[in-house]
Amino acid sequence: MRLWGGRFEGETDEAMRRFNDSFAFDHRLYAADIRGSAAYAGALLRAGLLSEDEHAAIVAGLAQVGAEFDEGRFQPLPSDEDIHTAVERRLTGLVGAPAGKLHTGRSRNDQVALDLRLWLLEAIAQARRDLARLQAALLAQAEAHRDLLMPGYTHLQPAQPVTFGHWLLSFFWMFERDQERLDGCEQRTAVCPLGAGALAGNPFPIDREALAAELGMRAATPNSLDAVSDRDFAAEFLFCAALAGAHVSRLAEDLIVFSSPPYGFVTLDEAFTTGSSLMPQKRNPDSLELARGKSGRLIASLVNLLVVLKGLPSTYNKDLQEDKEPVFDAADTLAVTLPVVAGVVKTLTPNAGAMRAELDVSMLATDLADYLVERGMPFREAHGVAGRLVRRAEQQGVSLSALPLADFQAESPLFGPDVAAVFDFERAVARRAVTGGTAPEAVARQIGEARARLAARQAGAGPASGG
Ligand code: ARG
Is the pLDDT reported for residue 463 higher than 70?
A: no
Ligand 1 midpoint to CA 212 (Å):
21
Residue nearest to atom 3 of ligand 1 (CA): 321
Quick: pLDDT tens for 347-402: 999 999 999 999 999 999 999 999 999 999 999 999 999 999 999 999 999 999 99
- Res 464: pLDDT: 44
- Res 253: pLDDT: 98
Report, as an integer, the average pLDDT of 248-260: 98
Contact call for residues 191 and 212 (beta carbons, < 8 A): yes
Is the pLDDT reported for residue 1 higher than 70?
A: no
- Res 7: pLDDT: 81
Residue nearest to atom 2 of ligand 1 (CA): 321
- Res 216: pLDDT: 97
Residue of 23, 85, 318, 328 best suited for mutating to test ligand 1, as the one with most atoms within 8 Å of CB: 318
By C-alpha distance, which of 153, 106, 124 is closest to 331?
A: 124
Quick: pLDDT tens for 317-349: 999 999 999 999 999 999 999 999 999 999 999
Cα separation of 270 and 255, whole Å?
Answer: 14
Ligand 1 midpoint to CA 7 (Å):
18
CB atoms within 10 A of CB 437: 18
pLDDT more than 70, % of the chain: 98
What is the separation of C-alpha 424 from the centre of its chain, rounded to a whole number of angstroms? 40
Ligand 1 midpoint to CA 300 (Å):
23
Residue of 4, 22, 108 best suited for mutating to test ligand 1, as the one with most atoms within 8 Å of CB: 108
Cα separation of 344 and 232, whole Å?
Answer: 34
- Report the atom number in ligand 1 closest to the C-alpha of 22: 1
- Res 181: pLDDT: 98
**For the whole model, what pTM was predicted?**
0.95
Report, as an integer, the average pLDDT of 267-292: 91
Ligand 1 midpoint to CA 65 (Å):
20
Largest CA distance in the chain: 101
- Res 467: pLDDT: 33
- Report the atom number in ligand 1 closest to the C-alpha of 82: 1
- Res 461: pLDDT: 57
Cα separation of 56 and 63, whole Å?
Answer: 11
Is the pLDDT reported for residue 243 higher than 60?
A: yes
Ligand 1 midpoint to CA 5 (Å):
15
- Res 466: pLDDT: 38
- Res 314: pLDDT: 97
Residue nearest to atom 4 of ligand 1 (CA): 321
Residues annotated as catalytic (active site), given as ranges = 155, 276
Is the pLDDT reported for residue 465 higher than 90?
A: no
By C-alpha distance, which of 346, 350, 330 is closest to 266?
A: 350
Which residues contact ligand 1 via a Cβ below 6 A? 22, 26, 82, 108-109, 112, 316, 318, 320-321
Report, as an integer, the average pLDDT of 16-36: 97
Residue nearest to atom 7 of ligand 1 (CA): 108
pLDDT more than 90, % of the chain: 93
Ligand 1 midpoint to CA 155 (Å):
49
